[in-house]
Amino acid sequence: MTFSLPRRQPQIVAQVVAARTVTPHMRRLTLGGPTLHTLLSTDGIDAPAAWVKIFPPGREGRAYTVRHVDRAAGTLDIDFVLHGDERHDDGSVSAWARQAAIGAGLGIAGPRHGGFALQADARWLWLAADASALPAIQRILETLPADLDVHVLALVTDARERQPLPTRARLQETWLYADASGADIDALLADVFDRARRLGHDGQVWIAGESGLVRHWRSLWSPLTPAQLSAKGYWKHGERDHRDREG
């Protein structure tokens, strides 16, 4: 397949070389192709939470976390959250990813930094995300040292969307399910935030997901310095390609 890339975007062309279902609402596409090595050799492609922008033919571009890089195979993995009606193509990148077949072509631009770098003096790390930022949290966890205490708060649709969180660090994880009752979610959040308040001021926080959710969770950490706190709005209700500039 051939198609034109949007102008003023430093892009390469790639192809889908493999696809698999991760959860009912998450599909992983492995991207390859003869020119992808240019991207794989770019500084920052391996940085935890690094992202690229995906341009399927005929659709607006959308930012996605690099889930995995395999230089030996010349490929990278992107996990796509699947939303909307699977019977209807609404023109989104998610709809494209749901049906993308082996050999499908696309453009890629990037990478860009994901806003995470572990500070040398951090005694603990608090990570929070919805499904859109779960791949970024997984990438961060894979890079952490064994002597670090890490707390993860993850919000997904239901228990079927829960994924393993492999890490060498000492991990404490809490999963919130959007299909649970409001009282259950509030009780879990109250417990999580109560424990968070006892962590002290010698740690680091990284939050990403829906913009309104990120602002709410970020407010818990107002005593931390800007260097200790990174909050990223990956998307916003009612907007197709939102990405905010919160630090």
Taking residue 201's Cβ as centre, other Cβ atoms within 10 Å add up to 10
DSSP 8: T
> Would you say 156 and 162 are in contact if contact means Cβ atoms under 8 Å apart?
yes
DSSP 227: G
Of 148, 242, 158, nearest in space to 199 by CA:
148
* pLDDT at site 188: 87
Strand partners, 19: 29
* pLDDT at site 59: 94
* pLDDT at site 6: 44
* pLDDT at site 235: 86
Rounded CA gap, 196 and 220, in Å?
9
Rg (CA), the chain: 18
* pLDDT at site 245: 44
> Would you say 179 and 158 are in contact if contact means Cβ atoms under 8 Å apart?
yes
**Residue whose token pair is 């341009």:** 55
* Threshold 0.85, pTM exceeds: yes
* pLDDT at site 189: 87
pLDDT means per 10 residues, the chain with 247 residues, are 43 94 97 94 93 94 95 97 83 95 96 92 96 97 97 96 97 93 84 88 94 89 89 79 47
Of 63, 229, 199, nearest in space to 136 by CA:
63
Instruction: For CA atoms 230, 236, 14, 101, give the dihedral sign.
Output: positive
Rounded CA gap, 95 and 128, in Å?
26
* pLDDT at site 126: 96
> Would you say 205 and 151 are in contact if contact means Cβ atoms under 8 Å apart?
no
Rounded CA gap, 97 and 138, in Å?
20
Instruction: Determine whether 185 is exposed, middle or buried from the number of CB atoms within 10 Å of its CB (0-12, 13-18, 19+).
Output: middle
* pLDDT at site 196: 87
